[in-house]
Amino acid sequence: MKKAKKVFSAVLASAMALSLLAGCGAGAAKGGSDTFKIGAIGPLTGAAAAYGNAVVNGAQIAVDEINAAGGINGYQIEYKSEDDELNAEKSVNAYNTLKDWGMQILVGSTTSACSIAVSENTKNDNMFQLTPSGSAEDCVKYDNVFRVCFSDPNQGIASAQYISDHNLATKVGIIYDNSDVYSSGIYQKFAQESEGKNYEIVSAEAYTQDNNTDFSVQLQKAKDAGADLVFLPIYYSDAALILTQANTMGYAPTFFGVDGMDGILTVENFDTSLAEGLMLLTPFAADATDDLTVNFVKQYNDKFGETPNQFAADAYDAVYIIKAAIEKAGVTPDKSTSEICDAVKAAMLEIEAKGLTSQKMTWEASGEPNKEPKAVVIKGGTYVSAE
Amino acid sequence: MKNKITKQNLITYGIVLAFYIIVEILMLTGVLSSHMKGLLVPMTYYAIIAVALNLCVGILGELSIGHCGFMCIGAFTSAFFSRATENSIPTVPRFIIAFIIGIAFAALFGFLIGIPVLRLKGDYLAIVTLAFGEIIKNVINSFYIGIDSKGVHFSMKDSMALGMEADGDIIVNGAMGITGTPHNANFTIGIVVLLISLFVVQNLVNSRDGRAIMAIRDNYIAAEATGINITGYKMMAFTISAAIAGAAGVLFSHNITTLTASSQYFGYNASIMILVYVVLGGIGNIRGSVIAACILYLLPELLRGLNTYRMLIYSIVLIVMMIVNWSPKVIEWRKRTFGRLNLKRAKEVA
């Protein structure tokens, strides 16, 4: 009898504790009716924190600007960001947290795998999702998800196209990271697209994140095969090492990168003269001289004390794209999340946005943006348009 | 004696069931936030793998720091099966078969690793499992498997080498892993699997085999002298432990739709995290691992409000909990302060 009482009291106590937990998030679930609530998700801690923080900060600047200018259709934006530690499971948790907060539109997730995992949930809830930088093909497989950046396959295709159109090479070597979704995604499409082009791929060497310090084997193979252009669909930190090591072994082909290469000039202890002549396809260059970029870079520098990269630019554009789509759809924040999603989704196909990452962007129902890649070449330590 | 053990086991099941019922009631009444709802399934699979590891570390007394490797195997084999048969087998039998496949493969690898390593004495298992966890991750990262009308294609180079027909579907795509696994796992299934693993482990511990396993842990030489087949029993416990970890992997892969073999899920850091659950819950204390896994998984999530400081606070809480739970001085102090409470409990247990 006494034991039964004890078990009973334990059950009651745990029930109380649980309802306490439940109380944490509930209540606010129905969004405010006079503000748009936009949430952002990205890795704010851990190894990829640079990307997540760039997205969160870039979006913050856009939100502040829009609010200062009177908001969207007169409604202010409320903005909140959550950390996902580059973990798809945590990204879903972050999404659920933001949902409890009352989020109506999601800018995120920053990275591909996280974005795919979250899109499963936004699909179920019918929430509008615009990922600034989730570039894997599957990120936008649902009709409520759109993206700002190029997809990985598109970058591969665009690179192959550019190299052949401009007769940059006859023999191409590739060094890529096969433990990375982004890098292997671009590589696969590039290799497919290269068939029948006016150059041939003579070497394709992979490395992984566990052995990204010594590239002499990969470089030697490219050199022995006589590659006059080395395609590097990788992030800039590894690329900086490759350039340095190529220089030491006296190998000087043209190096060609994609948007992950943006940032190579900011690597510490890297002799930027080695990057001279490096070509890259990027949607954003922090030292462009148009008003929009200059203004953005200045604000970002003032607020966060560093130069923004393409992730920040993508997120900044994402918020303005959402603004344009909401204005086009004419929705008000008192509508349900699902109604907002349906309206904004339809408006996305009609708007034409201008932003940091492109002069003109339009969207297809597939969620892919139509925009021109910009090719730049590094000359005298800065980006110069390659055209 | 027998009765006491049965009662202790029943309490463990009771706690899990009570937790389940309370959460279900909260869900029905709609007070549970979606954040909490999303945490429920991960909580169950981390509890399951903590139980599995406790069998290995606590009951068998062999340190394994690559248990997430078995989880990884369970996750990938079952997700591969589910993806490949998504359109040909209805959900319920498919998910059951996925469980069987995931568990069987994890057990097979546990068995294979056990053959050379468990014959040795000392910390070799820790080293080998650590290596295994890292190797399996890298091996899976270089797998490309696709299915088209001609059958299954396999490559370790890249997805072009598969030579797929136009109607082909690449299921395992190297570092991109498996995407689009059906979202079949839910809280009820998680709790059922947790109860089954508890049932298996607790009954094993209290069986003749379990006593033999613990005898090996407590005194190797004495156990050998009494005629216990040391390698055999070690293999048995380790294989069961790997199998349960595989079950946790099946739940994992059917809960989120992207599965990549990267370190944040299956690397040694993740394995150490599971070990922390086990150590904090009490080595050899199955119920403790379940509770510790739940609390420690929830904690960083509930601290989200503190933003980036939560990592700091989480580590401090870990240290404090470790001291409060296991430091002899603190235990003594607790006994003095809460003496009356403890006395009562002692009477009840006796």
Write the ipTM: 0.85
Q: A47-54: long-range contacts (C-beta < 8 A, 24 or more apart)? A: A47/A86, A48/A86, A48/A110, A48/A111, A50/A309, A50/A311, A51/A110, A51/A111, A51/A133, A51/A311, A52/A83, A52/A84, A52/A86, A52/A110, A52/A111, A53/A304, A54/A308, A54/A309, A54/A311, A54/A312, A54/A315
Contact (CB<8Å) A116/B158: no
Residue A206: CA count within 13 A, CB half-sphere: 22
Place of tokens 């990205």: A42
Q: Are residues A260 and A233 in the same domain?
A: yes
Q: Are residues B336 and B308 in the same domain?
A: yes
| Residue B326 forms part of a structural domain | yes
| Residue A128 forms part of a structural domain | yes
pLDDT, tens only, B212-251: 999 999 998 999 999 999 999 999 999 999 999 999 999 9
Average pLDDT, rounded, for chain A? 85
Q: Are residues A236 and A263 in the same domain?
A: yes
Q: Does A82 touch chain B (CB under 8 A)?
A: yes
**Per-residue pLDDT at B299 exceeds 70:** yes
Amino acid at A52: G
pLDDT, tens only, B33-58: 888 989 999 999 999 999 999 999 99
Place of tokens 């998910």: B95
Q: In the predicted model, what is the mean pLDDT of residues A40-65?
A: 89
- Cβ partners under 8 Å of residue B1, min gap 6: none
In the listed set A229, A253, A282, which residue is the last one of a domain according to the structure?
Answer: A282
CA distances from A232 to A134, A219, A351, B91, B143 (A): 19, 11, 34, 43, 22
**Per-residue pLDDT at A24 exceeds 60:** no
Locate B309 and state its tokens. 């400081």
- Which residue range is the domain that position B265 belongs to? 2-141+177-287
Contact (CB<8Å) B33/A82: no
Nearest beta carbon to residue A116 from set B11, B31, B257: B257
In the listed set A282, A310, A343, which residue is the last one of a domain according to the structure?
Answer: A282
Q: What is the pLDDT of residue B113?
A: 92
Q: Among residues B151, B177, B174, which one has the least CA distance to residue B75?
A: B177
Calculate how close chain B gets to A291, using CA atoms only, in Å: 34
Q: In the predicted model, what is the mean pLDDT of residues B92-114?
A: 95
- Which residue range is the domain that position A123 belongs to? 35-149+290-371
Nearest chain B residue to A45, by CA: B308
Nearest chain B residue to A138, by CA: B179
Amino acid at A108: G
Number of domains in chain B: 3
Query: A1 in helix, strand or coil?
Result: coil
More confident residue, B166 or A185: A185
Contact (CB<8Å) B302/A21: yes
Judge whether A208 and A183 are in contact, CB under 8 Å.
Answer: no
Percent of chain B topping pLDDT 90 = 54
| Residue A134 forms part of a structural domain | yes
pTM: 0.85
- Cβ partners under 8 Å of residue B40, min gap 6: B23, B187, B190
pLDDT band at B347 (very low <50, low <70, confident <90, very high): low
Q: A339-363 in b/e burial notation, b at 16+ Cβ within 10 A?
A: ebbbbbbebbeebebebbbbeebeb
DSSP type of residue A309: -
Burial class from Cβ neighbours inside 10 Å (0-12, 13-18, 19+) for residue A66 reads: buried
A contacts of B160 (beta carbons < 8 Å): 188, 191-192
Q: Are residues A277 and A158 in the same domain?
A: yes
- Beta-bridged to residue A279, according to DSSP, are A256, A377
| Residue B29 forms part of a structural domain | yes
Radius of gyration of chain B (CA): 22
CA-to-CA distance for A49 and A81, rounded, in angstroms?
A: 13
In the listed set B122, B155, B175, which residue is the last one of a domain according to the structure?
Answer: B175
Contact (CB<8Å) A26/B179: no
**Per-residue pLDDT at B303 exceeds 60:** yes
Q: Are residues B274 and B131 in the same domain?
A: yes
Locate A93 and state its tokens. 């948790």
Nearest beta carbon to residue B176 from set A44, A181, A204: A181
| Residue A9 forms part of a structural domain | no
Amino acid at A339: E
Q: What is the pLDDT of residue A17?
A: 55
Q: In the predicted model, what is the mean pLDDT of residues A222-243?
A: 90
Q: B78-93 in b/e burial notation, b at 16+ Cβ within 10 A?
A: bbbbbbbbeeebeeee
Q: What is the pLDDT of residue A220?
A: 92
CA distances from A283 to A140, A234, A317, A356 (A): 19, 16, 11, 8
DSSP H helical ranges for chain B: 2-29, 34-54, 67-84, 91-117, 124-141, 187-205, 208-218, 220-225, 230-253, 263-266, 268-281, 286-302, 309-326, 328-337, 339-349
Contact (CB<8Å) A93/B311: no
CA distances from B51 to B22, B47, B117, B192, B242 (A): 22, 6, 22, 14, 11
Q: Is the peptide bond before A109 cis (omega within 30 degrees of 0)?
A: yes
CA distances from A40 to A107, A359, A363, B13, B23 (A): 5, 24, 21, 40, 29
Residue A360's CATH number: 3.40.50.2300
Q: In the predicted model, what is the mean pLDDT of residues A21-48?
A: 69
In the listed set A282, A298, A323, which residue is the last one of a domain according to the structure?
Answer: A282
Calculate how close chain A gets to B119, using CA atoms only, in Å: 31
Residues for chain B: how many in total?
Answer: 350
Q: In the predicted model, what is the mean pLDDT of residues A132-137?
A: 87
Interface of A with B in 178-207 (CB under 8 A): 178-181, 183-185, 187-188, 191-192, 204
Q: Are residues B59 and B187 in the same domain?
A: yes
Q: What is the pLDDT of residue A8?
A: 55
Q: Are residues A83 and A193 in the same domain?
A: no
| Residue B59 forms part of a structural domain | yes
CA distances from A156 to A89, A148, A191, A273, A373 (A): 29, 17, 8, 27, 11
| Residue B336 forms part of a structural domain | yes
Q: Are residues A274 and A312 in the same domain?
A: no
Q: Are residues B42 and B159 in the same domain?
A: no
| Residue A27 forms part of a structural domain | no
Q: What is the pLDDT of residue A357?
A: 85
Q: Among residues A289, A181, A130, which one has the least CA distance to residue B175?
A: A181
Contact (CB<8Å) B38/A208: no
Q: In the predicted model, what is the mean pLDDT of residues A227-233?
A: 92
Q: Does B24 touch chain A (CB under 8 A)?
A: no
| Residue A367 forms part of a structural domain | yes
CA-to-CA distance for B63 and A144, rounded, in angstroms?
A: 47
Q: Are residues A266 and A159 in the same domain?
A: yes
Contact (CB<8Å) A25/B35: yes
In the listed set B287, B313, B340, which residue is the last one of a domain according to the structure?
Answer: B287
Q: Are residues A125 and A95 in the same domain?
A: yes
| Residue A2 forms part of a structural domain | no
pLDDT band at A30 (very low <50, low <70, confident <90, very high): very low
CA-to-CA distance for B60 and B235, rounded, in angstroms?
A: 10
pLDDT band at B195 (very low <50, low <70, confident <90, very high): very high
**Per-residue pLDDT at B292 exceeds 60:** yes
Strands A200-207 and A171-177: parallel
Helix (H) or strand (E) holding A164: helix A152-165
Q: Are residues B40 and B124 in the same domain?
A: yes
| Residue B215 forms part of a structural domain | yes
Q: Does A44 touch chain B (CB under 8 A)?
A: yes
Q: Are residues B168 and B26 in the same domain?
A: no
Calculate how close chain A gets to B14, using CA atoms only, in Å: 9
Q: Are residues B212 and B314 in the same domain?
A: no
**Per-residue pLDDT at B165 exceeds 80:** no
**Per-residue pLDDT at A25 exceeds 50:** no
CA-to-CA distance for B17 and B26, rounded, in angstroms?
A: 14
Q: Are residues A138 and A244 in the same domain?
A: no
CA distances from A338 to A102, A321, A329, A341, B30 (A): 13, 19, 14, 5, 19
| Residue A11 forms part of a structural domain | no
Q: In the predicted model, what is the mean pLDDT of residues A293-320?
A: 90
Q: Among residues A9, A71, A83, A11, which one has the least CA distance to residue A36?
A: A71
Percent of chain B topping pLDDT 70 = 96
| Residue of A1, A83, A93, A186 best to disrupt the B interface, most CBs of B under 10 A | A93
Contact (CB<8Å) A21/B36: yes
CA-to-CA distance for B61 and B234, rounded, in angstroms?
A: 9
**Per-residue pLDDT at A36 exceeds 70:** yes
pLDDT band at A322 (very low <50, low <70, confident <90, very high): very high
Q: In the predicted model, what is the mean pLDDT of residues A45-52?
A: 82
| Residue A39 forms part of a structural domain | yes
Nearest chain B residue to A136, by CA: B176
Q: Are residues B115 and B258 in the same domain?
A: yes
Q: Are residues B208 and B238 in the same domain?
A: yes
Locate B128 and state its tokens. 């080998």
pLDDT, tens only, A249-303: 999 899 998 888 877 877 778 888 888 888 888 888 777 788 888 999 999 999 9
Place of tokens 């697209």: A193
B contacts of A190 (beta carbons < 8 Å): none
Contact (CB<8Å) A88/B258: yes
CA distances from A134 to A58, A113, A321 (A): 15, 8, 16
Strands (E), A108-227: 128-131, 145-147, 171-177, 200-207
Burial class from Cβ neighbours inside 10 Å (0-12, 13-18, 19+) for residue A335 reads: middle
pLDDT band at B304 (very low <50, low <70, confident <90, very high): confident
A contacts of B31 (beta carbons < 8 Å): 19, 22-23, 26
Q: Among residues A54, A256, A86, A38, which one has the least CA distance to residue A163?
A: A256
Q: Are residues B129 and B259 in the same domain?
A: yes
Q: Does B331 touch chain A (CB under 8 A)?
A: no
Q: Are residues A160 and A126 in the same domain?
A: no
Q: What is the pLDDT of residue A358?
A: 84
Q: Among residues B71, B31, B4, B50, which one has the least CA distance to residue B242?
A: B71
Nearest beta carbon to residue B35 from set A3, A97, A208: A97
Q: What angle do CA A9, A12, A16 make, to 5 degrees?
A: 140
More confident residue, B283 or A7: B283
Interface of B with A in 181-240 (CB under 8 A): 183
- Beta-bridged to residue A231, according to DSSP, are A174, A256
Q: What is the pLDDT of residue A1?
A: 47
Q: Are residues A95 and A132 in the same domain?
A: yes
Number of domains in chain A: 2
Q: Are residues A326 and A367 in the same domain?
A: yes
Q: Are residues A276 and A157 in the same domain?
A: yes
Average pLDDT, rounded, for chain B? 89
